[in-house]
Chain A
Amino acid sequence: MNAFLIIVPLVGAALAAVWPGNRTRPWLLPAVGLVHAVLTLWLFVDPPTVAPTAWLGFDPLARAVLPAVSLLFLVCAAYGVSYLKVRSERPNRVFVALLLAVLGLLSAGHQARHLGLLWIATEAVTLAAVPLLHFNGTPRAFEATWKYLLVGGTGIALSLLGSFCLGYASLHGGGEGDLTFVALTAQGAGLSRPWVLTAWVLLLVGYGTKMGLAPMHTWKPDAYGEAPGIVGAILAGGVTTVAFTAILRVRAVIGAAGEGAIADRTLLVIGLFSMLVAALFLLGTRDFKRMLAYSSVEHMGILSLGAALGGAGVAAALFHVWTNGLTKGALFLSAGNIRRAAGSASMDEVRGMSILTPRSAAIFVTGMFAVTALPPFGPFFSELQIVRAGLASGHGAAIAMFLGCLLFAFFGLTRVVFGIVDGRPRTAARANGKRFVETAGVIVPPLLLLCLSLWLGLFCPATLREAWSAAVAQLFPTP
């Protein structure tokens, strides 16, 4: 059953690879996305019992996160259709096929209960995303891809090494090298301490590179800046998520080995560091797509901070995965529209978009406010939960720094966003804007994402909260 979450998209990818029509092909995206979403919903509503030894399984953690990715993908897929219609000049065979493949691999990564399998899925996603990044085919796009690949590749290597170390830790601790998380957790204190710590550092850096935690975030602005908005949305909402769940799963093993305190400290430090770096970059950046990348770095920092705050914090972080993913999606999509219409992404050239693309601009501004924790949108609630968890667990100083970083990030974001939305558009941009029409196809999806974020904030269903707490129970088993 849960295997279909992986199989269906991969089959769809294969289908897309052989599909003849360049115009009809994009429709595969929403089709597969819909099926995937329905399956996910079904599994979410009645979760299957996962065999402890299973390498793949729709376990509580997957249940707590995967639906968000599926939802995000569905909306982005709907956007993709009209986007690819706008970009009909480019062949989209590879694009569609790999987008679907990414979905499949993401589902695999979220469900992986085996260290090796998790690694394979994550890195497969990384590689599958490469052609999506240089869809635009400009030299800048290739430069971005090259950096994404080498920095990401280093991450790949390190996380592989980390996995080896964890494996050796179990081997050295007398285990017979079974790398399912269940087995590793069961071995617990039996794992050899030095190897476990080495493994933790390597895996944190490796998967942190994928998440885009500072200082391993350097690929992010280039990649998000040059990739199409839809790809950015899925990278920021899906790929980073899989890396985060990977870290959570590993963190559970480390915790079982009795090194949870150290793990939390490292998570806290790197999280705050990422937020600080992101805030400093946001204060100065002049490119609104790179701005989104830095904001994403900031939110990865928030996630890692939340993960460092124990059970309540992790629950809040899972909540934040949802809210941030969906809100960021809206931002990326509307930013894509604005980028198309303005013909540039730099503050220095883009002005007065509230006149050229009023709807996208409105969505962009609202999304910016939403992502900077303006109530009643989702991120406000999740971040407030993190704050409360931190204060309850006595991390006053960390929370103070957290709030400070949020404030500076807010300054940076508002500066850029209002910079491009207000004022009078340039004449060159006017001509360009004429060519871009704000059809329902490019407006409704981001709007929908905003509504979802709103809904998550105000009327977050109890089942979701229950799912998150179940995931927390899985990660922090209390005997």
Chain B
Amino acid sequence: MNLILAVILRLAVWLLLAPLLPGIINKVKAWVAGRRGPPVLQLYYDLAKLWRKGVVLSTLASPGFIAGPAVAWVALLGAAMLMPLGPGGTALSFRGDVLLLIYLLALARFCTAWAAMETGSAFEGMGAAREVSYAVLAEAAIVTAVLSLSVQTGSVSLVTMLSPSAGAGAVLLAAGLFTVLLAENCRVPFDDPNTHLELTMIHEVMVLDHSGPPLAAILHGASVKLLLFAVLLIQAVLPLGALSAPAAAGALVAGVLAVTVGVGLVESWLARLAFRRVPLLLTTAFLLCLFALLVAWKGGAK
């Protein structure tokens, strides 16, 4: 019974809070650029609008074109359900749930790519190709990060893995995970969410042909994913388990905000990388996580 309650509660939190982050990021960027910029709640308005709009479907597209975003959205929320929220703990946790989380993200990716290929457009094919290709390196980095955490804590379930800090390797891990966050959520320097040159896009170009509720699902899913990574990063780095509940909660929120602002700052200061440089950056992220892992190994040894 209270499991259901817990799930519903968390669902509410994720559903409602996630769309804040892009708004914050845009605000930060505007502020840096000295503009007023769109309101923080812009994404909520967009989602509401899209949700009421009709759908234009490519003649080539199959039902999968609409099912894809739905599945991706479910997968992302499922992943979110597995992610503990600081003192709040998690709805359900079991050994190896972290792997489920990683593969749910992969599922979401598969569905987005699938939906993108539905339209038979060269642009979207290009985007899908980039998405799945870069995922190879990103996934290696994430798994390495997770490995370092489980070496650190000797556990394979998120709750216990994330309560203490990553110890000596925290900085390395933070850097690595932040880079992965940028890549996975298609932020600068990997991708430019609001460019107008399709050739240079990854994620945005995949959703070119979506409209109405499916697009809403995609956008919301993206924001959930961003929040997910931010939460993961913070919990991996900060020793929330050691703090008292309110302090931990505060730290979590503050951390997430910090990360979001950080993303915003990066977006306003860095330019998008040339595509052939992207793998290099991702490999760096992977190596950072690997070093974190080695540090954790040595640290745990004593």
Q: Do chains A and B touch in the complex (CB under 8 A)?
A: no
Contact surface of A with B, Cβ cutoff 8 Å = none
